[in-house]
Amino acid sequence: MNILERIDRRILYLVLLLAVAYPLLRPFGLSVKPGPDSKQVFRVIDELPRGSVVMVSFDYDPAAAPELDPMAVALVRLLFSKDLRIITFSQPGWELGAGQADRILRQVAVEKGKEYGTDWVNLGWRAGQSAVILPAMSEDLRRPMNGVDMYGQPLVNLKLMDQIRKLSDLQLIVGIWSGTPGFQEYISFVYEPLKIPLVGGTTAIGLPVAKPYMKAGQLAGILGGMRGAADIEVLADQPGRALTVMDAQSLGLLVILGFLVLGNIGYLVTRWRGGVKG
Amino acid sequence: MFLEEAGAQFLFMLIFVAVVYFFIQRSSAGTHVPEIRKVAGLEYIDTAIGRATEMGRPVHFTPGLFGVDAPETLASFAILGHVARESARYDARLIVSNFELPVLGINQEIVRQAYLEAGRPERFNPLDVRYMSSDQFGYAAGVAGLLHRENVGANIMVGAFAAEAMVLAESGYQAGALQVGGTTFIQSLPWFIVAADHTLIGEEIYAAGAYLSRDPVLTGTIAAQDLAKIGIIGLVILGTFLNTLGLTWLETVLSW
Amino acid sequence: MQWRKKLPILITLAAGIFVVVSRFVKIEPLPTLSGTLDEWFLVSAAFAFVIGMANLTRLHLLKVRSRGKDWPYSLVLLVCLYGYLTLGLTVSVQGPAYEWVYRNILGALQGAMFSLLAFFTASAAYRAFRIRSAEATVLMITAAVVMVGNIPLGESIAGGNIPGLAQWILDVPNTAGARGILLGAAVGALATSVRILLGLERAHLGGPGA
Amino acid sequence: MSFSPGLGVWIAGLLSLMVYSFLWRDNPLYRAAEHAFVGLAAAYSVVLLYHETLRPRIVDDLITAGKWQLLFPILLGVLIYASFSNRYAWLARIPIAFWLGYGAGKHLAYDPAVILTQVKDSFIKLDSINNILLFLGIIGTISYFLFTLKSQASAPVRYGRFIGKWTLMVAFGALFGQAVTSRISTLLGYLGFLFGDWLHIL
């Protein structure tokens, strides 16, 4: 064993921490060139007529929020600046998603001068199973919600809900998905029967999982993690949180790549000296 | 109405059940018992339990997240059954960490039965089949702590795992346990590949019960699984051939 | 004695067949009955919470009483468990106190625990990704390409082609591999379900074919 | 009682440091945080279960609305407590049998749809190199999972398995790369909270 193979893991941890903390505090502003998947999502949203109603599904909880909040903010900003109206919802299992939606929508609505009830509505969350709730919403939005929004207001009092009585009245569903239930449920229970287009974003690790569904055309576009959020910020020309952390993200990945190389150099050196068997 | 747009699905299911039944009949009659290829990860489960016993360290098993609505959990029961019987046989201490409440109930029963069968019912400690909270990271924090503190010698993780797989596998490595990880969740497989000694990939966890039991009837059902896959490969080849020629009738048939 | 093993197998088979039939045969009263069965499952499974609570309570109470190793931590656990439970059952869940504890304590613990993964990733990348075999080498090179592809800087360090290659890896081999695993696993899930319904896999009954 | 946001952020920050101390090694601070975590999370699950299932079904439906048939699942659920006794433990198998049958039945009922959808999506027009590779990769990966055919078997199976193995290795590499990216983002998001909301140095 040589020294390159014996670095204490705590030193690695410290190097990683310093590598991401420095650019986080002092970003150097690398430029970001949006990838094809992100452009696709942007195009789908961009082509919607003004005033269309879109459902945004907040299917994640505080644990995934550090990675997905910037994407949710970027998407909601984009939707509002295209004058689209938003209904938010969280699938069963994501009881805390409704709270995320509440916080983000409130913040962006103030920024963009949007009004609750006419420009956006938060349907909140329902217990049970997506296999039951989503088909029920396809027939009638009010009944599965027991006729009220997240805050207990009757849906009949909200102007936006006059035109939207069932899922097929929507032009698009945008999801922010971090696991199960997620896009698979929307594909099976909404896209397949109703053919309402689905776009959205997942964590970076969710992207490879979503690829087969994109290939099959069941997802019209998918953003992957923080990079996807940064792409949308560039395309919408609304720089936000994701762009500012891209420097730290790049350095973090480079450091991990460095560890990978370092470990292997150590390994090769040991093998050359004939120290251990491969 | 009967079979609303699910005719092809119904037929597929029916044929599958029939094939499984046929193979069960054939292998219980003893006429033909198929030979199964070696699955290194499954062989290693016994090795790990044996080594943990030699070192006097406990064995840890966890079925991961989700309940019986996840097929991975159903597969994990058979593997826990085997792990529990081996542990009882060697008289090793077995700790099981659970995420879902009904699964906790089922797993207590599985471990109890295994000790009963091994003739050591008094060695079964219900407190060792533990509830670790139904919060993904609460569970992960609990298991990570347990792996370190109980000085676990063999850590077997087979079932439904998501992002917490990394915490479990890396903590197990740091605690010096021999590890086997298995799941169908492709986003978790890389963590098991890098941090565990052996990984069961996708369908391998469903073959585990039959493989480990060496029971001829169960082994027969693995042959049925293979026949289904060969059928799927055939369909894919035929469909691709037709599609390349511009014919889509097979898709229409399968959507019936 | 034998019926104690046979009865559960019969119940399993009956419940399973009912679920399958009500999926495919959409003639009343089956759809209604199927909804009832879903409800029965949820309600009966809910009662298992006592098993979990009893397990945690007994384990940690025992440690506290015997002043065993690390008993103060067990005390912390019991206080948090029963304190928060009381808060959640007596005060409204939407109440400020319950929500405050969630956001600042439980939420912080979740977030911190989740973010630890980045560090574990670092040590795993350093330690485990060795080019021991051809397979491991391919795995490592692919991982490196995909990571570089995710760096906005990727174009400038690697001269433009790496992000395209990363995209190709995600679109072609990854899609093929993911679909193959998915299909194999779905077949495995079906076979396991059949084995359970037929009582061939019955670890909970101490059966041999478990 | 006042719930100062400032105090909350400080508590959250300190708890995070206690969790992070695990990176150094298992220590009393981490143990305290871990035990608090398990206790709170277990309480949270039970509270959710009570408000979403037990209270609406038992208090609202059974007692108030008189849906007496709910007594059956309640009795079924309560039987799991038989496992507390050695003598009557076998009764606990009844709810277990029902849960397993229900779960297995669901898979048998709904998984064929997953399989057929994926099969139909795998009908590929072989008009480009990528599509040919995709086609070969899919069949190869499926044949990698054949268990009963010996690897010395016929040539197509051998080639299929070979392609499958390499496709899987590339796919796992891609997954690892994406996973690392995800984890770094999560860390950055969380450091954003620690540096910004807590320490105000962002």
Say what the pLDDT of residue B117 is.
Answer: 87
The reply to whether residue D184 touches residue A253, judged by beta carbons under 8 angstroms, is yes
Q: Which chains touch C (3 or more CB pairs under 8 A)?
A: A, B, D
With an 8 Å Cβ cutoff, is B162 touching chain A?
yes
Show pLDDT as tens, one digit a residue, over chain C (210 residues): 577 788 988 999 999 999 888 888 877 788 788 888 888 898 899 899 999 999 999 999 999 999 888 899 999 999 999 999 998 888 766 667 887 888 889 888 998 998 999 999 898 888 888 887 888 889 889 999 999 888 876 556 555 678 888 889 988 999 999 999 999 999 999 999 999 999 888 887 775 443
Average pLDDT, chain C: 85
| Cα distance between residue D54 and residue D31, in whole Å | 33
Chain B residue numbers with beta carbons less than 8 Å from the beta carbon of A206 are: 187
Q: Contact, A211 vs A183, CB < 8 A?
A: no
Pick A256's closest partner by Cβ from D134, D180, D190: D180
Say what the pLDDT of residue A278 is.
Answer: 41
Pick C177's closest partner by Cβ from D96, D114, D171: D171
Residue D1: band (very low, low, confident or very high) from pLDDT cuts 50, 70, 90: very low
% of chain A residues with pLDDT over 90: 51
State which amino acid sits at residue D172.
F
With an 8 Å Cβ cutoff, is A254 touching chain B?
no
SS3 at position D86: coil
Query: Could you tell me the CA-to-CA distances from B159 to A81, B188, C18, C47, C208 in Å, in that order?
Result: 44, 11, 26, 23, 21
Q: Is the pLDDT of residue D66 over 90?
A: no
Q: Which chains touch A (3 or more CB pairs under 8 A)?
A: B, C, D
Tokens, residue A219: 């997802």
The reply to whether residue B74 touches residue D34, judged by beta carbons under 8 angstroms, is no
Closest residue, chain A, to C171 (C-alpha): A211
Q: Is the pLDDT of residue A270 over 90?
A: no
Distance from CA of A51 to the nearest CA of D (A): 33
Of A238, A232, A242, A179, the C-alpha closest to A44 is A232
Q: Which residues pair with A116 in a beta bridge?
A: A120
Interface of C with A in 130-149 (CB under 8 A): 130-132, 140, 143-144, 147-148
Q: Which chains touch D (3 or more CB pairs under 8 A)?
A: A, B, C
Distance from CA of B90 to the nearest CA of D (A): 23
Say what the pLDDT of residue B77 is.
Answer: 92
% of chain A residues with pLDDT over 70: 98
Chain A residue numbers with beta carbons less than 8 Å from the beta carbon of B163 are: 205
Using one digit for the tens of pLDDT, what is the confidence trace for B175-205? Answer: 999 999 999 998 889 889 888 999 999 999 9
Tokens, residue A116: 């609750």
My answer on whether omega of the bond before C29 falls inside 30° of 0, hence cis, is yes
When pLDDT is averaged across residues B69-94 and rounded to a whole number, the result is: 91
Say what the pLDDT of residue C37 is.
Answer: 87
Pick D15's closest partner by Cβ from C46, C96, C105: C105
| Cα distance between residue A183 and residue B71, in whole Å | 19
Mutate to test the interface with B, among C42, C116, C132, C187 (most CBs of B within 10 A): C187
With an 8 Å Cβ cutoff, is A21 touching chain C?
no
Distance from CA of A193 to the nearest CA of B (A): 11
Using one digit for the tens of pLDDT, what is the confidence trace for A119-178? Answer: 999 998 887 778 778 888 988 888 888 888 888 889 999 999 988 988 989 999 999 999
Using one digit for the tens of pLDDT, what is the confidence trace for C59-91? Answer: 999 999 998 888 999 999 999 999 999 988 887
Q: Contact, B67 vs B74, CB < 8 A?
A: no
Say what the pLDDT of residue A29 is.
Answer: 77
The reply to whether residue C125 touches residue A263, judged by beta carbons under 8 angstroms, is yes
Say what the pLDDT of residue B4 is.
Answer: 64
With an 8 Å Cβ cutoff, is C59 touching chain B?
yes
With an 8 Å Cβ cutoff, is C64 touching chain B?
no
The reply to whether residue C56 touches residue D19, judged by beta carbons under 8 angstroms, is no
Chain C residue numbers with beta carbons less than 8 Å from the beta carbon of D23 are: 116, 119
Residue A277: band (very low, low, confident or very high) from pLDDT cuts 50, 70, 90: very low
Interface of C with B in 130-159 (CB under 8 A): 139, 143
The reply to whether residue B190 touches residue D80, judged by beta carbons under 8 angstroms, is no
Of B126, B220, B65, D72, the C-alpha closest to C11 is D72
Q: Is the pLDDT of residue B87 over 90?
A: yes
The reply to whether residue B37 touches residue D127, judged by beta carbons under 8 angstroms, is no
Distance from CA of D134 to the nearest CA of B (A): 11
Pick B202's closest partner by Cβ from C23, C139, C185: C185
| Cα distance between residue A86 and residue A173, in whole Å | 10
With an 8 Å Cβ cutoff, is C27 touching chain B?
yes
Closest residue, chain D, to C111 (C-alpha): D190
Report DSSP letters for C78-140, one per residue: HHHHHHHHHHHHHS-TTSHHHHHHIIIIIHHHHHHHHHTHHHHHHHHHHHH----SHHHHHHH
Average pLDDT, chain A: 89
My answer on whether omega of the bond before A181 falls inside 30° of 0, hence cis, is yes
Closest residue, chain A, to B188 (C-alpha): A205
The reply to whether residue A205 touches residue B136, judged by beta carbons under 8 angstroms, is no
| Cα distance between residue D36 and residue B138, in whole Å | 9
Closest residue, chain A, to B191 (C-alpha): A205
Mutate to test the interface with B, among C51, C60, C123 (most CBs of B within 10 A): C51
The reply to whether residue B186 touches residue A208, judged by beta carbons under 8 angstroms, is yes
The helix or strand, by DSSP H or E, that contains position A87, with its residue range, turns out to be strand A85-90
The reply to whether residue B187 touches residue A209, judged by beta carbons under 8 angstroms, is yes
CB pairs under 8 A between B and D: 182
Closest residue, chain C, to D137 (C-alpha): C176
Using one digit for the tens of pLDDT, what is the confidence trace for A68-111? Answer: 999 999 999 999 999 999 999 999 888 888 888 999 999 999 99
Using one digit for the tens of pLDDT, what is the confidence trace for D188-198? Answer: 989 988 888 88
Pick A21's closest partner by Cβ from D121, D181, D191: D191
The reply to whether residue D92 touches residue B105, judged by beta carbons under 8 angstroms, is yes
The reply to whether residue C125 touches residue A16, judged by beta carbons under 8 angstroms, is no
